[in-house]
Chain A
């Protein structure tokens, strides 16, 4: 399983290198929803080339779900997700007239003392369950049992949310979090956090929860040709080169259908804007989940995240299972 762990990423370019090929349009959920070039990574990059400021780009910056699909398709290797996160940081640090209270709460949480880590022996693999999985203790226990990992108390959920919202992370908080992870192999449910850990801990071994679970023979063997397997996009795109090979093997071995487009980019089942993620506006648009299901002949949907499970349960009568649930009862 740990052969899947990632290595250090190559350097990427910035918005000034955007040549306008529009390949990012093809994979962008914002584009699919609006068909408006302003709401695409290229639109943002081109606007920046024309001197636009973050505040002028507030609407598309909010609309982006940070699924990361644009990163692997960019022929110029521009760090498009990084560009958007950077712009969100600029936006959050500017004197916004009405700052959501939820962001102030987050800042307060980040400034608190470093959360005491549980006693985890050095080099033991650890699981960062993330906020979603913590809401389902039974599933978390099952995941923990399947993977044989230690769940760390400080899973960086506040850091992940800060990354997403562009809120500055105090160095003390960040370094404390990273210090607790150094020397460990890491499995993270949160794809955005995993993406950043790739940069923050370049020598570490880390992987997404979905890949970790689906690499278990007990679970992999339960997948079949009638299954639609829905990949968590952030972790997949953050390490696309290796993940595309991994999931290709999974598809060949099991015969399942993957939630990939023709470019082998993962289609997000949930593409929430930042406002939706923060709970400021309702967000249960079924468009992405329906697009994944269009033309599908699957009789069962297997997902890697609880958010995806909820999304498919809203739009489909098919059974929707978390990958960890494939193992049946664990004795």
Chain B
């Protein structure tokens, strides 16, 4: 069992998952050779004979040409929209028989092509996006696993319910997230997203449909949760939910990332807030967000912890920055960049339509909108994702420094929360897979400040590519996250 070292409040401890995560990371080839198509014709015939719809051609496949990272490009030979577990079972059996690689895609929020098919068949789980039943008494929901967390939230909110925790990204999928963990700004309290899974329906690589939970097929359940898709495809999930509450949000501004992280740790380790997270624009402009589900919790925070935070209010931080750059006039461009980002980004967190009586209606909407708008795609700033590990480790720009810090945040949150449980599960996986599955590699290897940011506050699930446990044959099953 993995031992999580205890961390003194106010310090940044060693990483409990992968001590060498920042040293000489082996980069994956983002555009592997396309599968040669041998056996495709027979596979298609078998699939169609079994009544499974398969679309081919550029129009059907084009939407899957890349993922959120936008660095790997590839097209499948054909696409199947997931409709039910039986259909997926047929597909996987045919794939085994004809040795056709299967790429599973949820929200496509991987960063380096893990949900991009380089030939073979792509199974789009988004076709299974229905909420099956909501039990408001037992506080559970049964849903198809291809559903986006935000779509699930839309349904739950009609019953005045909410999920426990999910990546703050509107288009990450439930199944993909359960396969990798998923961290919300309340994960320090409630655990990672996968912790809310009560039971799962899984189609194994050999095409068996299995219901599993802690009490039924427990070993499979523990493998599949954070199993990165190796042990089967999650088709349905029963999740714990909770009554919906709008949240009261506070922001504190720091000129030191380290100080902000230490304060974040202090809050989490003392259970001082319901939500906490960090947004950074640069190492010298950091935003610690703290939020509460109830006025009582907020009052307790104000009484016991607020004074211990070393961050500033918005006005105080502006004065601080003014003084900082007045003494460093040669950094005028940096100051102007920060000012511009402040003007662009800050209003997103205070939009009146998402605030009701001072309470934020939905944190995912507010932060996901802001992230996509201000850190997404064209805002990515590091152009050479295809860099070598050596060059990456040497890089000394702010983004890389931020990556190191944020990886620490991730483990801090993990060590202080129910994530420890799921990290424990990782250790049950084959040892050879462990270092790649820390969930931090995405952070470490990301090219962009956007992804770095996202990892801090959103920690979107990503990055998997491995053979299935059952696949002793050559074709690779790429299990995508999110």
Query: Which stretch in A4-12, A21-29, A105-113 binds the other chain?
Result: A21-29
Known contacts A25-B148, A76-B377: A248-B353 contact under CB 8 Å = yes
> Which residue in A25, A46, A245, A295 is a CB contact (below 8 Å) of B62?
A46
Measured CB to CB, the nearest residue on chain A to B61 is A50
Q: Are B154 and A19 in contact (CB under 8 A)?
A: no
Distance of B107 from chain A, by nearest CB (Å) = 6
Distance of A11 from chain B, by nearest CB (Å) = 15
> Which residue in B67, B68, B353, B365 is a CB contact (below 8 Å) of A244?
B353
Query: Which stretch in A62-70, A134-142, A154-162, A259-267 binds the other chain?
Result: A259-267
Residues of B in contact (CB 8 Å), total 46
Distance of B246 from chain A, by nearest CB (Å) = 12
Q: Which residues of B contact A22 (CB under 8 A)?
A: 107-108, 148, 171
Q: Are B127 and A35 in contact (CB under 8 A)?
A: yes
Q: Are B65 and A49 in contact (CB under 8 A)?
A: yes
Q: Are A295 and B159 in contact (CB under 8 A)?
A: yes
Known contacts A38-B60, A47-B63, A264-B354: A21-B68 contact under CB 8 Å = yes
Question: In the complex the two chains form, what is the Cα distance from A62 to B148 in whole Å?
Answer: 26
Query: Which stretch in B195-203, B368-376, B405-413, B426-434 binds the other chain?
Result: B368-376
Q: Which residues of B contact A262 (CB under 8 A)?
A: 150, 153-154, 157, 361-362, 365
Q: Which residues of A contact B70 (CB under 8 A)?
A: 19-20
Measured CB to CB, the nearest residue on chain B to A22 is B171
Q: Which residues of B contact A43 (CB under 8 A)?
A: 63
Measured CB to CB, the nearest residue on chain A to B377 is A19
Question: In the complex the two chains form, what is the Cα distance from A42 to B372 in whole Å?
Answer: 15
Answer whether residue A104 sits at the interface, using C-beta atoms and an 8 A cutoff: no
Answer whether residue B343 sits at the interface, using C-beta atoms and an 8 A cutoff: no
> Which residue in A21, A50, A244 is a CB contact (below 8 Å) of B59?
A50
Question: In the complex the two chains form, what is the Cα distance from A47 to B68 in whole Å?
Answer: 16
Q: Are A52 and B58 in contact (CB under 8 A)?
A: yes
Distance of A123 from chain B, by nearest CB (Å) = 33
Distance of A65 from chain B, by nearest CB (Å) = 19
Distance of A78 from chain B, by nearest CB (Å) = 11
Question: In the complex the two chains form, what is the Cα distance from A37 to B155 in whole Å?
Answer: 20
Question: In the complex the two chains form, what is the Cα distance from A297 to B280 in whole Å?
Answer: 41
Answer whether residue A75 sits at the interface, using C-beta atoms and an 8 A cutoff: yes
Measured CB to CB, the nearest residue on chain B to A247 is B353
Measured CB to CB, the nearest residue on chain A to B355 is A248
Distance of A263 from chain B, by nearest CB (Å) = 5
Answer whether residue B378 sits at the interface, using C-beta atoms and an 8 A cutoff: yes
Measured CB to CB, the nearest residue on chain A to B129 is A35
> Could you list 8 A-B pairs, sorted by A, with CB under 8 Å?
A21-B377, A26-B150, A37-B124, A50-B58, A57-B59, A245-B352, A262-B361, A294-B158
A22-B108, A25-B148, A47-B59 are known; give 4 further A-B pairs, CB within 8 A.
A35-B129, A38-B59, A262-B154, A294-B158
Q: Interface residues, chain B, CB within 8 Å of chain A?
A: 55, 58-68, 70, 81, 107-108, 124, 126-129, 146, 148, 150-151, 153-155, 157-159, 170-171, 352-354, 361-362, 365, 368-369, 372-373, 376-378
